[in-house]
Amino acid sequence: RYLRLGFDDGQAGRHSSHVDLHRQACQRYNVPVDMSEWRQGWERGIRQYCTPQNGLNEGRAGRSYANSCPADVRADFEDAFRVAKAVHDARAAVDRENREMDDLLRKLRETEDRDEARKLETEISVKRDAVRNAERRLRDAERNYDFYIYETGVRG
């Protein structure tokens, strides 16, 4: 039972300290947690989680990482995660900047106040720069991602 629970926690990338939540929950019902069994399962599960391929998948999905990988596999996972998460975050920034630009353009179309229109035109000009910068950061992140794939041969 605890072997499977530990395996599931590890495979989900949960930190080894996650067992404390199980202990607290079980303690309320006076049920002991077999720490040795849980740890054995977690060790197997975390090694399935902490692969470079999974680092790419987790990063691209924008998930968070609990700094849970063991030292001997940490660097490869974190490198992959970091390069993929940068692409995710850059895409999100481009989307956000474009939504904000659309909102400003809509307000400009709807306003009849000349002062408000001038103010919006200035904001739109600034927002265009922000969109271009976000798009540049996305291209850079995608280039780094492609280079990582080329250099390592790892695919998510």
Q: Note the pTM of the prediction, 2 decimals.
A: 0.87
Q: What is the pLDDT of residue 149?
A: 97
- φ/ψ region of 111 (left if φ > 0, alpha if ψ in -120 to 50, else beta) reads beta
Helix intervals (H) in 50-113? 52-60, 71-110
Sign of the alpha-carbon torsion through 104, 105, 107, 113: positive
Residue in 86, 94, 83, 81 with CA at minimum distance from that of residue 147:
83
Q: Flag the least confident range among 6-10, 16-20, 27-31.
A: 27-31
Q: Which residues of 14-52 are buried (b: 16+ CB within 10 A; e: fewer)?
A: bbbebbeebeeeeeeeeeebeeeebebbbeebbeebbbb
Instruction: Tell me the two tokens of residue 41.
Output: 């399962």
Location of structure tokens 């990582």: 148
Cα 86 to Cα 126: distance, rounded to the nearest angstrom: 24
Residue in 19, 13, 140 with CA at minimum distance from that of residue 78:
13
86 or 5: which leads in pLDDT = 86
Q: Look up residue 50 and give its DSSP letter.
A: S
Average pLDDT, the chain: 95
Q: Flag the least confident range among 20-29, 78-87, 141-150.
A: 20-29
